[in-house]
Amino acid sequence: MPSARAREWHRSIRPFLKESVKRYFLVISLMGSAMAGYVAAQLAGPQPRRAILGLAALILVLGLTSAIGQTFREPAPPPLTPEVLADPMARAGHAVQPVWYAFTLPVVGLLGVLVGGWRQRSGSLKACA
């Protein structure tokens, strides 16, 4: 069992960890969407503009639909009980994603696809492929 000092340290660092995890997922989302844009441009052939813009529009529409759905969802579930705290799946059902984060993800995906498609079109990654 952790000491009181360790528990206090964990409580003080928890908000920072939650925010840093969100930043990490934004970076991972940007990298993944850039790879998706690159692959879409590769598969589209000599005129990849429609494929890149189509994928970017699809990511933006689906992401904004999800973000709007989250904004208007039911209020938060009841407070956590010891039974819920013991079950990780039940705890995940109580998690609430910030609204700013839900609206930022589609924009990051859009930018990543455009950057990845542009990088493929400009030929700057051909040496790496």
CA–CA distance, 127 with 129 (Å, rounded to integer): 6
Task: Render pLDDT for 50-92 as a digit per residue (tens, 0 to 9).
Answer: 999 999 999 999 999 999 988 887 666 666 677 766 777 776 6
Predicted confidence (pLDDT) per residue in 28-42, tens digit? 999 999 999 999 999
Write down the domain spans for the chain.
4-72+79-122
Q: What is the rounded CA–CA span in Å between residue 125 and residue 104?
A: 27
**Verdict on whether the full-model pTM lies above 0.85:** no
Closest C-alpha among 52, 56, 28 to residue 42? 52
